[in-house]
Structure 1
Amino acid sequence: MSSLENYSPVLLALFATLFTWFMTALGAFMVFFTKEINREFLDTSLGFTAGIMLAASFWSLLSPAIEMSEHLGIFGLILVGIGFLSGGLFLSGLDKIIPHLHRGLSYNEAEGIKTTWHKNRLMLLAVTLHNIPEGLAVGVLFGALSFEFSNSALISAIALTIGMGIQNFPEGLAVSFPLRGEGLSRKKSFYYGQLSAVVEPIFGVIGALMVTFFTQLLPFSLSFAAGAMVFVVIEEIIPECYIHGNIDKATIAAIFGFTLMMILDVALG
């Protein structure tokens, strides 16, 4: 692990988020083998995704932010709280501005600024919005290595990357297969499926750069990413995996996802 100390945290963040993008692309690639995917399986997978993201929000981001700001007393907690709220409000703001359509909803239920864009493009933008905080979270955690490089901090960042990669696989399925079901070719369904995660390397680098140049913002940045991820889980993932009635299976899967990410972060980090 110590050999990685020679690499820039920004470069490590890029490599990590390229991996999370690759896992999305791998899930989307499954569209070449079959046209349909069982809805119950898909909802269960999305529940699993929600659990991983919730656990990562606390164990990988919010808890370290609180520990880093303990020396500030109540002001540190306020700083972390403001960061958490800001992350959620930031995503909420993007949600109201950028045209998008959550999967499973009709075209006239599109959110954001009104547009004549095709339904497929609006669905793609919804998932793209979802992937912004994931890339930001990984980038911020790797960027923290510029503040204090240690094997435990590096392993924690790697654990988050693994967790995000695991949950990105079903996300790739959740984008490409509905598009295939609506008549798009396998090639286009795969293309749009992997394209939804391209923002992860972009925001991973942005997050790492932000922390590298402004290390004093680290607790705020960590809690900001946590708030953004929690917003995505509550706003998009949970409603989608419940809308088809697979509530129990999706909930149990979320608990398993939370447990897996908790073990990854605590045991490895």
Structure 2
Amino acid sequence: MLHIFSDVSPVMAAFLGTLFTWGMTALGASLVFFIKGANQKFLDSMLAFAGGVMIAASYWSLLAPAIEQSADSPVPTWFPAFIGFLLGGTLLLFIDKVMPMVDLDRYMNDIKDEKAKSRTALLMFSMTLHNIPEGLAVGVAFGAVAADGSGAALGGAIALALGIGIQNFPEGAAVSMPLYREGMGKKKSFLFGQFSGMVEPISAVIGASAVIIIEPLLPYALSFAAGAMIFVVAKEIIPGSHEKGNVNTASMSLMVGFAIMMMLDVALG
């Protein structure tokens, strides 16, 4: 595999690596096609599962790397994560306030409940936002290969793309399943689910092309996405999964989603 990436420019290598991560997001989103006759309890469980995935990803995929990358910065180690996290939540609060003024019917006309439309829009936005700094991180890793030139640096960049790709599998399902729960068709749920991963190749190219500029900002971007995701989980995902009375089932599903994402993040580094 190394020769495939070593024979192309760092920008192209980053693009190829994140095509894989996007593909894994799409693969996870495709699980929606295998749901047959799902009842409300199962659908509430899937929404809560998505919340668990998002909480775990917020720490192990976003906040922990942000703190680690801040170790050599001129500001205190905690500062980028603290500022980015609060700004991310503040942005989602603002978006939640202006959401009623957005014409969501153009894209979600098959979801009849207005509250459900707002919830799914926030979910999709936060998951997409979460994938941007991950794509940047892959781009920076491949961009750094040009300066380092060692096989170890290239191997590390490939391992990062592989790890993020595998982690993206449950994240794709965490978008498409809730969309289907709210009344969106399977095909459209899949398309929106995989779209959340489409930003990774784009941001990877940007990261590899501007590695010197992007790298210092990564801790802020990672924690910003974490704050956005936690806001959505707290305000929309958990209350939404409890609406129909399936509180215990939803709570356990959230824990299962958290545990699976935690396992993948820790195991894959």
Q: TM-score, normalised by structure 1?
A: 0.75
1:73 to partner: Cα distance: 6.4
1:53 to partner: Cα distance: 1.6
1:140–1:222 contact (8 Å) kept in structure 2? no
Q: Distance in 1 between matches of 2:227 and 2:154?
A: 25
1:228 to partner: Cα distance: 2.1
How many residues align structurally?
A: 244
RMSD, aligned CA: 3.0
Q: Distance in 2 between matches of 1:258 and 1:178?
A: 22
User: What runs of 5+ residues in structure 2 fail to find an aligned partner?
Assistant: 7-11, 146-152
- Structure 1 residues 43 and 177, CA, compared in 2 at 3 Å: closer, same or farther? closer
Q: Distance in 1 between matches of 2:226 and 2:85?
A: 6
2:21–2:164 contact (8 Å) kept in structure 1? no
Q: Aligned ranges for residues 193-212 of structure 1 at < 5 Å?
A: 193-212=189-208
Counterpart residue number, 2:260: 260
- Structure 1 residues 12 and 252, CA, compared in 2 at 3 Å: closer, same or farther? same
1:135–1:199 contact (8 Å) kept in structure 2? no
Q: Distance in 1 between matches of 2:47 and 2:195?
A: 20
Q: Aligned ranges for residues 174-185 of structure 1 at < 5 Å?
A: 174-176=178-180, 178-179=182-183
Q: Aligned ranges for residues 73-92 of structure 1 at < 5 Å?
A: 75-92=76-93
1:115 to partner: Cα distance: 4.6
User: What runs of 5+ residues in structure 1 fail to find an aligned partner?
Assistant: 100-111, 181-188
1:72 counterpart SS class: coil
Q: Distance in 2 between matches of 1:19 and 1:261?
A: 14
Q: Aligned ranges for residues 63-102 of structure 1 at < 5 Å?
A: 63-72=64-73, 75-97=76-98, 99=99
Counterpart residue number, 1:161: 165
Q: Does 1:139 align with 2:161?
A: no
- Structure 1 residues 95 and 158, CA, compared in 2 at 3 Å: closer, same or farther? farther
Match of 1:120 among 111, 133, 136: 111
Q: Distance in 2 between matches of 1:85 and 1:150?
A: 34
1:156 to partner: Cα distance: 4.6
Q: CA offsets, 1:104-150, max 9 Å, x none?
A: xxxxxxxx316593463863645532432243254234234234646
1:14–1:201 contact (8 Å) kept in structure 2? no
Q: Distance in 1 between matches of 2:195 and 2:81?
A: 25
1:209 to partner: Cα distance: 4.0
Q: Aligned ranges for residues 12-27 of structure 1 at < 5 Å?
A: 12-24=17-29, 26-27=30-31
Q: TM-score, normalised by structure 2?
A: 0.75
**Quick one: which amino acid aligns to residue 230 of structure 1?**
I
1:140–1:207 contact (8 Å) kept in structure 2? yes
1:66 to partner: Cα distance: 0.6
**Quick one: which amino acid aligns to residue 200 of structure 2?**
G
1:227 to partner: Cα distance: 1.8
**Quick one: which amino acid aligns to residue 85 of structure 1?**
L
2:256 counterpart SS class: helix
Q: CA offsets, 1:77-118, max 9 Å, x none?
A: 212211222222233333333x4xxxxxxxxxxxx3165934
- Structure 1 residues 57 and 127, CA, compared in 2 at 3 Å: closer, same or farther? closer
Q: Distance in 2 between matches of 1:116 and 1:228?
A: 20
Q: Distance in 2 between matches of 1:197 and 1:256?
A: 20
Among all aligned residue pairs of Structure 1 and Structure 2, give the percentage whose two residues are the same amino acid: 30
**Quick one: which amino acid aligns to residue 216 of structure 1?**
P
Q: CA offsets, 1:162-220, max 9 Å, x none?
A: 2332243254233235426xxxxxxxx23321232353244223432453322221222
1:137–1:226 contact (8 Å) kept in structure 2? no
Q: Aligned ranges for residues 221-236 of structure 1 at < 5 Å?
A: 221-236=221-236
Q: Distance in 1 between matches of 2:4 and 2:263?
A: 23
Counterpart residue number, 2:55: 54
1:63 to partner: Cα distance: 0.8
